[in-house]
Structure 1
């Protein structure tokens, strides 16, 4: 069965109080996960996670650095990259190789997903789960003498909005 868990409704565009509450809850979940794992969601890590949670699409590292400049004027690329590495290791964000960007995980602390569909035009991401398809993919890869290096497979695609724009 495929379950689609795309990002929340567009973040960063006219946030409602409910949107802020949802982001606050996701940040509390992240802090709790880190605490249970013996790690810490430092202020810079929290800021980067919150910034990604508020975005409707993914962000490249330097765009993320620019987005946090007001709150962290002294932030430098190494600081951002270290925070991104930490958040990725904790499963709170995804590194999107297809577009060299990062996005918040929509279900951190929830059900795992195994497929990331990335719009190569706008950076939108859908998180899907189809264990049967993933098992078939792993078996196909194994027949070639390789083994999958991770539990997520990234697919490059165009979202519905970008498909419509391309047709217009």
Structure 2
């Protein structure tokens, strides 16, 4: 018995389903990215107001920079214009940022900026406790609480680079004690953990749901 050839209608339907699925995936990805950015911005703004006095987020970015200047002055140091600008760029970013990205932004403002300029500023901000270095990805993020000398745990979102500081002194001390008991001398006692933040989880779930819904609609046609 001969096998029937697919009809033109069947071919068109198959092509339509394929196109619909492709479009659904593309739209879902775009929606997810937009949702992630919007939610992340909202989350960052919300968390900024939840910190106690002494944090790097004030009523405005200018207030945060003024606080940093006062903090440096109390330490007998100076937040020079270059140092201030690098700190401002990190505040603008709101997430872990690599040095070369900061250099690119600096060159848009000061075309003659050289790598040592940015690295020296970062070294100062690190020594002053104004920023954290995320060793695992070689990036930098603003320290949100100047009252805490040792933050202990930094949680980094692998998707968007958002960093959350956790203050768990007892947990940190217990872990450090166990490491020292094992015979290690720590070079740094900050702990870096990687995960997916709430905003990115929501975006991922939305993308999956949108793709599934679109595929179901296409299959029903």
1:45 equivalenced with 2:83 (yes/no): yes
Q: C-alpha separation between the residues in 2 aligned to 1:111 and 1:82? A: 23
TM-score, normalized by length of structure 2?
0.63
* Equivalent-residue separation in structure 1 for 2:114 and 2:61 (angstroms): 25
Deviations 1:84-116 (A, max 9, x none): 1110110001111121110111112x2342211
Rg larger for: 2
Secondary structure of residue in 2 paired with 1:69: helix
- Residue of structure 1 aligned with 2:100, choices 62, 86, 99: 62
RMSD of Structure 2 on Structure 1 (CA): 2.1
Match of 2:157 among 99, 119, 124: 119
Deviations 1:61-82 (A, max 9, x none): 1111112223222111111011
Structure 1 residue 151, shift from structure 2 partner: 4.2
- Conserved in 2, the CA contact under 8 Å of 1:115 and 1:154? yes
Matches within 5 A, 1:12-31: 21-31=59-69
* In structure 1, distance between residues paired with 2:141 and 2:148: 17
Cα gap change, 1:72 to 1:128, in 2 (>3 Å) = same
Relative to its length, the structure with more helix (as a share) is 2
Cα deviation for residue 22 of structure 1 reads 2.4
Runs of 4+ in 1 over 4 A off after TM superposition: 164-167
* 19-28 vs 71-80, greater mean Cα deviation: 19-28
How many residues were matched structurally?
153
